[in-house]
């Protein structure tokens, strides 16, 4: 079967690492041809060898000798069958992300994304559009990229989920750890931004947008549709620095919790103090933990390392493997 014609939208840390994975990973190497690479200002058509060198050196796409200002996703709609999306979120208005998702799918272009915007705001709309257009959406990298959170949620569909409680933002874990050790909150946030662990706009993490998007997507995947706008967001700053450090001395840990009671459509994200032996409290800076509480009183616990960019990229490769299997099925005539 011929290689998949693909475009890469976004050439930040995740996009660069993904490009390298696409041409080195033994399970997908040779099965995808990336014909377009786009950034916020423009892009390149072809020029793959130079793009790979830029990715390996962690350089911007603007440095490519064939970079074209203004080249955008509308220029690739007729030439690709799959788009990898690794762009910053836009939760307040959803744009331009939402329009891009809709236009890609309406053109029959399948999507593998690390961006949470579309599914956090319009889950059923986009999933339904993909089904109508016979396109695929892979979104494992939107929630706890590095552990199979979306797979676990899919595996629990049809069950009555009493509650989901989770630590879903490793950046805040990192920040809280430094506050416990004596840094001010502003110093800890600055360090996270400098080390590329926080979004360039750290309010996405600190004000709960990131965790809210993830718990909304998780709830929708479980079969209880939710939007980020349904989530009660409490900022990290509701806990004071002194309170965080004093609690650590008493055997408590400060954590930022994402919580859902899906059947009641009650979703919230908030900072709190947990006893140190709580599984959520034991979540370290580069980890996420999710506890699914089931109808009969049992629990399913999922925990492990998430991020940084290379884990997110590898999670997108998992989606790609599934996409290739899906593509093979729909292109193989029934016996």
Give me the CATH number covering residue 62.
3.40.50.720
The pLDDT assigned to 191 comes to 87
The pLDDT assigned to 109 comes to 98
The pLDDT assigned to 193 comes to 82
Estimate to the nearest angstrom the gap between the alpha carbon of 193 and the chain centroid: 18
> In 3D, which of 170, 158, 177 has the Cα closest to residue 292?
158
Domain that holds residue 256: 149-305
81 and 227 fall within a common domain: no
> In 3D, which of 256, 181, 267, 189 has the Cα closest to residue 224?
267
Antiparallel, parallel or unpaired: β 299-305 and 266-275: unpaired
Stretch 252-277: mean pLDDT: 95
User: Is the peptide bond preceding residue 174 cis, with omega within 30 degrees of 0?
Assistant: no
Q: What is the 3-state secondary structure (H, E, C) of the chain?
A: CCCEEEEEECCCHHHHHHHHHHCCCCCCCCCEEEEEEECCCEEEECCHHHHHHHHHCCCCHHHCCCCEECCCHHHCCCCCCEEEECCCCCCCCCCCHHHHHHHHHHCCCEEEECCCHHHHHHHHHHHHHHHHCCCCEECHHHCCCCCCHHHHHHHCCCCCEEEEEEECCHHHHHHHHHHHCCCCHHHHHHHHHHCCCCCCCCHHHHCCHHHHHHHHHHHHHHCCCCCHHHEEECCHHHCCHHHHHHHHHCCEEEEEEEEEEHHHCEEEEEEEEEECCCCCCCCCCCEEEEEEEECCCCEEEEEEECCCHHHHHHHHHHHHHHHHHHHHHHHCCCC
Percent of residues, the chain, with pLDDT higher than 70 = 99
Estimate to the nearest angstrom the gap between the alpha carbon of 28 and the chain centroid: 21
- CA–CA separation, 258 vs 244, rounded Å? 18
277 and 242 fall within a common domain: yes
- CA–CA separation, 77 vs 105, rounded Å? 9
**Which pLDDT tens digit goes with each residue over 213-259?**
999 999 999 999 999 999 999 999 999 999 999 998 899 999 999 99
> In 3D, which of 120, 48, 106, 50 has the Cα closest to residue 73?
106
- CA–CA separation, 145 vs 147, rounded Å? 6
Band (pLDDT 50/70/90 cuts) for residue 333 is low
212 and 67 fall within a common domain: no
138 and 34 fall within a common domain: yes
* Structural domain total, the chain: 2
154 and 301 fall within a common domain: yes
Asked whether 168 and 204 are in contact (CB, 8 A), the reply is no
55 and 173 fall within a common domain: no
HSE-CB at 107 with a 13 A cutoff on CA atoms is 19
The pLDDT assigned to 335 comes to 47
280 and 327 fall within a common domain: no
Specify which residues 254 forms β-bridges with.
273
153 and 251 fall within a common domain: yes
Stretch 254-281: mean pLDDT: 95
230 and 287 fall within a common domain: yes
The pLDDT assigned to 202 comes to 85
Query: Which segment of 100-104, 139-143, 242-246, 288-292 scores lowest on mean pLDDT?
Result: 242-246
**Which pLDDT tens digit goes with each residue over 163-221?**
999 999 999 999 998 899 899 998 998 888 887 777 777 899 999 999 999 999 999 99
107 and 206 fall within a common domain: no
Higher pLDDT, 330 or 150: 150
The whole-chain average pLDDT of the chain stands at 94
Stretch 25-51: mean pLDDT: 97
Band (pLDDT 50/70/90 cuts) for residue 285 is confident
Asked whether 115 and 85 are in contact (CB, 8 A), the reply is yes
168 and 247 fall within a common domain: yes
pLDDT beyond 90 at 292: yes
pLDDT beyond 80 at 288: yes
pLDDT beyond 60 at 334: no
A 10 A CB-CB count for 159 gives: 15
57 and 93 fall within a common domain: yes
CATH number at residue 290: 3.30.360.10
């Amino acid at each position: 079967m011929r290689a998949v014609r693909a475009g890469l939208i976004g050439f930040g840390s995740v996009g660069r690492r993904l490009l390298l994975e696409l041409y080195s990973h033994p399970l997908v190497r040779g099965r995808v041809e990336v014909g377009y690479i786009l950034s916020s200002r423009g892009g390149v058509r072809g020029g793959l060898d130079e793009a790979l060198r830029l990715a390996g050196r962690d350089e911007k796409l603007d440095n490519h000798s064939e970079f074209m200002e203004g080249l955008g996703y509308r220029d690739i709609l007729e030439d690709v069958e799959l788009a990898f999306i690794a762009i910053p979120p836009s939760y307040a208005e959803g744009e331009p992300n939402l329009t891009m998702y809709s236009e890609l799918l309406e053109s029959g272009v399948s999507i593998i994304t690390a961006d949470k915007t579309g599914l956090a705001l319009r889950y059923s709309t986009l999933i339904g559009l993909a089904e109508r257009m016979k396109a695929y959406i892979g979104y494992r990298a939107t929630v706890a990229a590095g552990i199979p959170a979306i797979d676990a949620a899919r595996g629990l569909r049809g069950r009555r989920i009493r509650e989901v409680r989770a630590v879903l933002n490793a950046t805040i874990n990192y920040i809280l750890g430094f506050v416990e050790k004596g840094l001010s909150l502003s110093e800890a946030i600055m360090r996270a931004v400098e080390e590329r662990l926080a979004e360039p706009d750290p309010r996405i993490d600190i004000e709960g947008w990131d965790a809210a998007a993830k718990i909304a997507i998780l709830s929708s995947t479980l079969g209880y549709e939710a939007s980020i706008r349904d989530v009660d967001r409490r900022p990290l700053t509701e806990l004071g620095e002194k309170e965080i450090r004093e609690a650590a001395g008493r055997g408590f840990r400060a954590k930022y919790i994402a919580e859902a009671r899906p059947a009641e459509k009650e979703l919230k994200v908030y900072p709190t103090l947990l006893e140190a032996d709580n599984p959520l409290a034991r979540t370290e800076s580069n980890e996420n933990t999710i506890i699914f509480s089931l109808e009969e009183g049992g629990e399913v616990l999922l925990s492990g390392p998430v991020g940084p960019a290379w884990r997110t990229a590898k999670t997108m490769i998992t989606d790609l493997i599934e996409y290739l299997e899906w593509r093979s099925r729909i292109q193989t005539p029934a016996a």
